[in-house]
Amino acid sequence: MKKWGLLFLTVMLTAAVTVLGGCGSSSKTAEMQPITIGVMPDIDSAPIIIAEEKGYFAEEGLKVEVQHFKSAMDRDAALQSGNLDGAISDMLAVAFAKSGGFDVKVTSFTDGNYRLIAGKNENITKAQDLAGKDVAVSKNTIIEYITDQICANQKMADTSINKVVIPQIPTRLEMLQNGKLAAATLPEPMGSVAIANGCKLVTDSEALGINPGVMMFTAKSVDSKKKELQAFYRAYNKAVAYLNEHPMSDYIDIMIEKNSFPAEVKTALQLPKYRVAGLPSQKDVDTCLQWMLKKELVKTSFSYDEIVVDINK
């Protein structure tokens, strides 16, 4: 009887260890709250798409729902309605939200690029050549901001070019390619598409060191999902390493499918060297806010600490 009792005890202990071990392996996921992220059809979103596709979020025990948006207006509406925890965005959208009483925080920069592209039949090699010519932008947006910063970098007044307001990016691209504009400022990958179709690069935000793209989260999510955001960025950084270590041919089909990129990007797209997550510089934040104040897009400015937060502290 003693022998059978010891055998029974051993079996029970083994079963308990197995159950506890199973609980331990799933507890990481169970303890994590899900995160919902909004992305736009741009190259800033690449690390998030790769992290989702390669299972890096799951490796961190984190469930992330990625929602794709065609317009910034729809993305921002989803954020303010509580359907998103965060989104790939830009400093202008952050300032607009805070000015409207909706508290958001910048948790990192993103790696995007905005390109000033001249028409294929235009004799334009530098920004100064655009003085007095039609340049398509979307008003009071990151596109106009980049265009004005390009002008400032070249010692040109932003009034020296004739800004033609064309909000829709596909329309802007089509008019440029059809010779109805001297130039247009386009986000990637549309800038690469224009160049592939014969238009000419004048300059871009990457060349000038202008970095207005950011990842923002609601203040509520920053406060209540700190460990989830830390896990999110660990997965994000794994994706950055993958993007920098692999040829674009390994993942371009995923990018085209998930972001609804035009087919031309398969041979035309030029991606930046992605950086591990980090905070935007004081200069990038201040320059953008000063531009918005000058344009009277916001009535008051915000300090760096009111906008940017380090989720690792």
Residues of the chain with pLDDT under 50: 1-27, 29
The single residue listed with the structure tokens 């690069």 is: 201
In 10 A of CB 282, how many CB atoms?
Answer: 11
H or E segment to which residue 78 belongs = helix 72-80
For the chain, the domains span 33-112+211-307, 114-208
Token couple for 148: 């004005």
Predicted confidence at residue 30, as pLDDT, reads 57
Predicted confidence at residue 26, as pLDDT, reads 45
CATH superfamily of the 114-208 domain:
Periplasmic binding protein-like II (3.40.190.10)
Are the C-beta atoms of 35 and 65 separated by less than 8 Å?
Answer: yes
CATH superfamily of the 33-112+211-307 domain:
Periplasmic binding protein-like II (3.40.190.10)
Sequence-ordered strand ranges (E) for the chain: 35-39, 64-68, 86-90, 104-109, 114-118, 134-137, 162-165, 183-187, 200-204, 213-218
- The model's pLDDT over 184-235, given as tens digits with 9 standing for 90+, comes to 999 999 999 999 999 999 999 999 888 889 999 999 999 999 999 999 999 9
Same fold, 33-112+211-307 and 114-208: yes
Are the C-beta atoms of 37 and 64 separated by less than 8 Å?
Answer: yes
